[in-house]
Amino acid sequence: MSSASSGAREQGRSELGVALFLGGLGVLVIVQALLLEESLIARGPVGPRTVPLVVGGLLVVVAAFLAVDVLRGGRGEPEGGEDVDLTGRSDWRTIAMLVAAFVANALLIEPLGWPVSGAILFWGSAFALGSRHPVRDLVIAVVLSVGTWYLFVLVLGIALPVGVLEGIL
């Protein structure tokens, strides 16, 4: 068996995997939507279930069309952008640093609050993606995290934890 036919068969399996994932996600969304309690304040045909049911149904339909297309021999076209190096390898160091910044944010948001954990997230992401201006990046990260905290709390009315800065912000 040639490596070209083996690669095409593996690509077909992966595309069927995507179809299976989309179908499973659609079924999950539909089941969860059906488990939602009816709202007492909802009036008319549109309730809390409507949008999730439509989205779940569309996911199942798209998954079915994708599976039929793959089974009929359709294949996705490989990336052909001029600015994409198809021979390049994954930069696992960068990915690990980004994951570390997100995990640090998730672990520190309750004890330290969003302004501090968000600043760590923004600064860590900038560092992981190649910026080497730590002081400037820290200032930008603090402005972004405090600004987004105020946006969520004052404008959107969503309470984010303030943590160690309680009484200051």
Residues 112 and 61 in one domain: no
Q: What backbone torsions phi and psi does residue 48 show, to the nearest 5 degrees?
A: -70, -15
Residue 148 makes CB contacts below 8 A (sequence gap 6+) with: 114, 118
Is 86 part of a structural domain of the chain? no
Phi, psi torsion values for 35, nearest 5 degrees: -85, -10
* Residue 65 located in a structural domain: yes
**At which of 20, 40, 71 does a domain end?**
71
Structural domain for 46, as ranges? 3-71
Query: Do 105 and 142 share a structural domain?
Result: yes
Indicate the SS3 state at residue 146: helix
Distance CA(142)–CA(120), nearest Å, equals 8
Kindly state whether residue 78 falls inside one of the protein's structural domains: no
Scored b (16 or more CB within 10 A) or e, 20-37 reads: eebbeebeebbeebeeee
pLDDT of residue 2: 46
Using a cut of 0.85, tell me whether the model's pTM lies above it.
Answer: no
- Asked if 64 and 127 sit in the same domain, the reply is no
Quick one: pLDDT at residue 168?
A: 82
Within 8 A by CB and 6+ apart from 27, the residues are 56, 60
Q: Are 152 and 141 in contact, with CB atoms under 8 Å apart?
A: no
Number of structural domains found in the chain = 2
* One pLDDT digit (tens) per residue for the chain, 169 residues: 444 444 455 555 788 899 999 999 999 999 999 988 776 665 666 777 888 999 999 999 999 999 999 898 887 776 666 676 667 778 899 999 999 999 999 999 999 999 999 999 999 999 999 998 999 999 999 999 999 999 998 888 888 888 888 878 7
Q: Which pLDDT belongs to residue 86?
A: 66
